[in-house]
């Protein structure tokens, strides 16, 4: 709950319900919970189910049960992104009205061809930087997706509380990125920025894989005129081959409760002190406050 006297802090854990939590996603949940508690702030849970084809029935309920079994209880009923389409449509309309979003008729194949024609042949599996083909109109192609029109200088510099100063030239690596996909699915980048703003999120604590999305999210926050939260990206949990664990690929199923909580605390460099989970969490809040003092600034 919001702490008396301290500056307002709102944090969140935003799982995609593509499967049950694994150790990596529990680490993200725990890190965001600890940061909120250490700051006397609010901790929210948001179910990020915009990409319906990737979601699994029952996964959201399972995730909430797993969190509860670890003693991580949100301070408000969880938001569910599939109920937020109107808000995303308003955001897109606002960007369109200011010429900051445009319709795109390009298929992946057309983007590859345009990049090759510019001598920028992508490697298989590469994220394709959008070459800007539809920036000035569709030239007869049917509209498929909606993209953000990047500003002339789309280099973003930001400072992460753990990994330090980051700098990214979004135009070069990604280009005008998608806000609404050709299959009518709202893009993660748009949904996350609209919802973080609507929920008043001041602090984002999540896995380091999402650091690569942060510059895009900051450009979108600026375009929409909403505040930028502070960011803390946590170390990823990797499997024996060094790959990030993934819910959808059925990473080692997590039996919620003491052993999982103990493993997640250890991954965050914290000790499980005390006789049971509630005591471990209380002592972990104090350890976290000492490790990350800037959260309560
Ligand atoms: N829904 C995203 C995921 O499960 C996380 C989004 C975020 O924390 O910004 O990977």
The fold of the 86-180 domain, in CATH, is 3.90.800
Which residue, by CA, sits nearest to atom 6 of ligand 1? 14
CA distance 84 to 186: 10
User: What is the average pLDDT across 59-79?
Assistant: 96
Q: What is the pTM for the complete model shown?
A: 0.93
Ligand 1 contact via 71 beta carbon (within 6 Å): no
On the question of pLDDT at 237 being above 60, the answer is yes
Q: Tell me the DSSP string of 36-96.
A: HHHTT-EEEEEE---SGGG--TTHHHHHHHHHHHTT---SSPPEEGGG-HHHHHHHHHHHH
**CATH 3.90.800.10 spans which residues of the chain?**
86-180
**pLDDT of amino acid 243:** 80
pLDDT level of residue 52 (50, 70, 90 thresholds): very high
Mean pLDDT, the chain, rounded, equals 91
**pLDDT of amino acid 294:** 64
CA 37–ligand 1 middle distance (angstroms):
20
User: What is the average pLDDT across 21-31?
Assistant: 95
**pLDDT of amino acid 4:** 43
On the question of pLDDT at 6 being above 60, the answer is no
Percent of the chain with pLDDT over 90: 80
**pLDDT of amino acid 249:** 57
On the question of pLDDT at 37 being above 80, the answer is yes
Which residues touch 189 (CB under 8 Å, ≥6 apart)? 177, 178, 179, 213, 216, 217, 220
Query: Is 247 noted as a catalytic residue in this protein?
Result: yes
User: What is the average pLDDT across 259-267?
Assistant: 93
**CATH 3.40.50.620 spans which residues of the chain?**
10-83+200-211+229-296
pLDDT, one tens digit per residue, over 142-200 is 999 999 999 999 999 999 999 999 999 999 999 999 999 999 999 999 999 999 999 99
Three-state DSSP at 133 gives: coil
Please, are residues 265 and 280 in contact by the beta-carbon 8 Å criterion? yes
CATH 2.30.140.10 fits 10-83+200-211+229-296, yes or no: no
Ligand 1 contact via 210 beta carbon (within 6 Å): yes
Identify the active-site residue in 206, 216, 247, 267: 247
CA 20–ligand 1 middle distance (angstroms):
14
């Amino acid at each position: 709950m919001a702490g008396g006297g301290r500056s307002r802090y709102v944090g969140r854990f935003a799982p995609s319900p593509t499967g049950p939590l694994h150790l990596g996603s529990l680490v993200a949940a725990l890190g965001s919970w600890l940061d909120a508690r250490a700051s006397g702030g609010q901790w929210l849970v948001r179910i990020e189910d915009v990409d319906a084809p990737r979601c699994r029935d029952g996964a959201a309920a399972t995730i909430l049960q797993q969190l509860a079994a670890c003693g991580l209880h949100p301070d408000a009923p969880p938001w569910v992104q599939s109920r937020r389409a109107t808000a995303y449509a308003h955001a897109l309309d606002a960007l369109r009205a200011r010429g900051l979003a445009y319709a795109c008729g390009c298929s992946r194949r057309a983007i590859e061809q345009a990049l090759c024609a510019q001598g920028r042949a992508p490697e298989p599996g590469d994220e394709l930087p959008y070459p800007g083909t539809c920036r000035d109109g569709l030239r007869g192609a049917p509209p498929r997706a909606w993209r953000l029109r990047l500003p002339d200088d789309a280099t973003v510099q930001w400072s992460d509380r753990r990994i330090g100063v980051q700098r990214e030239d979004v135009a070069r690596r990604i280009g005008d990125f998608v806000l609404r996909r050709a299959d009518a699915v709202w893009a993660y980048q748009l949904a996350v920025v609209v919802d973080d703003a609507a929920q008043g999120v001041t602090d984002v604590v999540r896995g380091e894989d999402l650091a690569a999305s942060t510059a895009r999210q900051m450009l979108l926050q600026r375009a929409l005129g909403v505040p930028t939260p502070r960011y803390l990206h946590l170390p990823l949990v990797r499997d024996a081959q060094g790959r990030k664990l993934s819910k959808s690929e059925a990473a080692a199923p997590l039996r919620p409760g003491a052993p999982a909580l103990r493993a997640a605390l250890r991954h965050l460099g914290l000790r499980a002190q005390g006789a049971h989970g509630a005591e471990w969490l209380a002592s972990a809040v104090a350890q976290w406050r000492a490790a990350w003092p800037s959260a309560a600034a």
